Structure 1
Amino acid sequence: MRKISAGLFIAADGVVESPDKWHFPYFNEEMGAAVTAQIGEADTLLLGRVTYDGFADAWPERELAGEEDAGMAKDLGDTRKIVVSASPQAFTWRNSEQLQGDLVEAVTALKAEPGGTIAMSGSISVVRQLLAAGLVDELHLLVHPIAVGAGMRLFDETAGPIPLKLLRCETFTTGVLYVVYGPADQA
């Protein structure tokens, strides 16, 4: 069975929305290595449409520019990308396809396929649904030392209890906590 690894930037008050407005002052090599490792171990990316659109707008251009992150950009382009969207999509970024059918059923089937890790980045509504369904094997949170105050939180008032078990935790020099959780019943 394949593993799903979801990664999110999160503020100390639980806000995950618009990290582009508060995340960058805390970015450093430690965080870059953590993000690269989480996404880089995957042979498939599962992304919500909004996250996919942001990636597809940025990473192909970075690959063509040939700068410092061109290698990661190429790897992302070469990786199979499955996009969750309720409406039909036309994709311009190579190796992209749309998830077909019910989210939980389709992801359950995807996990049963042969292959390696399925990584997620951002895609909050998709992560929420898959956490509630018990399909996320690792939740990688980069907890930033800032209270944003307003915005979508990872867990809202409608979420039921989702027991988690700490798998590992690391403190970066910027004060960011890199916390990895798994399901509470995971060994």
Structure 2
Amino acid sequence: MGKIVVSANVSLDGVVEDPTGEEGLKGRAWFRPDESPDGAAWAADELREARGIGALLLGGRTYEWFAERWPSRTGEWADLLKAAPKYVVSTTLTEFPWANATLLKGDLADGVAALRREVDGDVFVFGSGRLVRSLMENDLVDELRMKVHPVVVGTGERLFGASGVNRGLRREDTRMIGDGIVLLTYRPLRDA
């Protein structure tokens, strides 16, 4: 049985939007792996994480972002993401050009429960801010991995925003990625 793992790059002030400056925060990039002193360590950690993917669960905008960039990439990391089954949560997308992608239809909780039962390995959620908030609101996240980058962005979409969720978490692990990125791993506190 798989678990739902949210893996998020986040600034110190909680911003998850557009870390590389390619979209809404043009010119305000807060993490460029190829220019960062921690970039190589971050990429190595992303590859390690990708080796554990049983499937991807993505919001529509994040799926489109990946589908534009990853099919042409090469190497083990790209191969792992290309080969992974991809489940997309969207009310607007009708075409899924990136290999192995299908629309997750119906109720989110029912769909996630089915993924947990059917997927061999963990179901990873990258990006997908609105989806992550919905998953948290419905207590569907089994593990939250926050890669906290040493920068205050000041503006942009935050991972949790004003959701009205009061969810207790237990820290499972803390470790450094390079010299500046801190990986915080949490699991939700649930009633026994």
* Alignment RMSD: 1.8
Match of 1:80 in 2: 85
User: Is 1:44 the counterpart of 2:55 in the alignment?
Assistant: yes
Structure 1 residue 22 and structure 2 residue 30: aligned?
A: yes
Structure 2: tracts of 5 or more residues without a match? 21-28
Shift of 1:47: 0.7
Q: Is the 8 A contact 2:88 2:101 kept in 1?
A: yes
Asked if structure 2 preserves the Cα contact closer than 8 Å seen for 1:47 and 1:123, the reply is yes
Distance of 2:117 and 2:178 partners within structure 1: 39
SS in 2 for 1:119: strand
Distance in 1 between residues matched to 2:191 and 2:50, nearest whole Å: 21
SS of residue in 2 equivalent to 1:167: strand
Displacement of 1:125 in angstroms is 0.8
- 1:62 and 2:73 equivalent? yes
Aligned-pair CA distance for 1:5? 0.9
Cα distance in 2 between the residues matched to 1:186 and 1:79: 32
Q: 1:169 to 1:186 in 2, by over 3 A?
A: farther
What are the Cα deviations for residues 79-135 of structure 1, in whole angstroms up to 9, with x where unaligned?
101111012421112111111112222112221225221111111111111112111
Query: Offset at 1:137?
Result: 1.0
| CA–CA distance in structure 2, aligned partners of residues 116 and 108 of structure 1 | 14
TM-score by length of 1: 0.89
Moved more, 23-32 or 132-141: 23-32
Secondary structure in 2 aligned to 1:62? coil
- TM-superposed CA distance for 1:76, in Å, is 1.2
Residue 38 of structure 1 deviates from its aligned partner by 2.4
Counting only pairs closer than 5 Å after superposition, residues 80-119 of structure 1 correspond to structure 2 as 80-119=85-124
Q: Which amino acid aligns with 2:44?
A: A
Measure the CA separation in 1 of the matches of 2:65 and 2:153.
Answer: 21
Query: How many residue pairs align between the two structures?
Result: 181
In structure 2, relative to structure 1, the CA distance for the partners of 1:148 and 1:185 (3 Å cut) is same
Q: Call closer, same or farther: CA 1:74–1:173 in 2, change over 3 Å.
A: closer
Q: Percent identity?
A: 35
Structure-1 residue corresponding to 2:152: 147
**Partner of 1:67 in structure 2?**
none
Q: Which residue of 172, 183, 186 maps to 2:188? A: 183
For residues 10 and 77 of structure 1, do their structure 2 counterparts lie closer, same or farther at Cα, with a shift above 3 Å needed? Answer: same
- Structure 2: distance between partners of 1:152 and 1:102: 25
Q: Secondary structure at the match of 2:66?
A: helix
**TM-score, normalising length from structure 2?**
0.87
Question: 1:126 and 2:131 equivalent?
Answer: yes
Where do 4+ consecutive residues of structure 1 move more than 6 Å?
none
Name the structure with the higher helix share. Answer: 1
* Matching residue of 1:6: 6
SS for the counterpart of 2:158 is coil
Gaps (5+ residues) in structure 1?
Answer: 64-69
Q: What SS does the aligned partner of 1:19 have?
A: coil
Which sits farther off after the overlay, 161-170 or 88-97? Answer: 88-97
The letter for the 2-side match of 1:23 is F
